Amino acid sequence: MTLERDLGGYVRAAWPILEPATPFSENWHVDLIAEYLMLVRRREIKRLIINVPPRTGKSNLITVMFPTWVWTQEPHTRFICSSYADSLSTKHSIDRRDIISSPWYQQLWGDRVYVG
């Protein structure tokens, strides 16, 4: 399965860009959330609430990784991302930019997702 069809695999591959000093921690909830987000992307799920404990990677997975993964297939798609704190929203925006401007991402999808 290619990274464009597998959000869980994409998360594992992109993780070192966001957290180079922290190894990715395998857990069943990451694959489950990824599975549901793939259904959202295919428009099979219209509304989704995800409740997991703090510090389980939810923000990185949903707010950072999911949009950058969708852009590998649908670069025209727009997202509105917000947070309770403007500093966290800014951090997530910078994290998304770091992923799409990384050599890894640009090598694979630079012809679709332009970083100017």
Give residue-wise pLDDT tens across range 73-95: 999 999 998 888 999 999 999 99
What angle do the packed helices 7-18 and 86-100 form, to 10 degrees?
100
CA proximity to 105, closest of 57, 97, 7, 66:
97
**Average pLDDT score over residue span 58-70:** 95
Classify residue 15 as left (phi > 0), alpha (psi -120 to 50) or beta: alpha
Question: The pTM is what?
Answer: 0.92
Mean pLDDT of 22-38: 94
For the chain, the average pLDDT equals 93
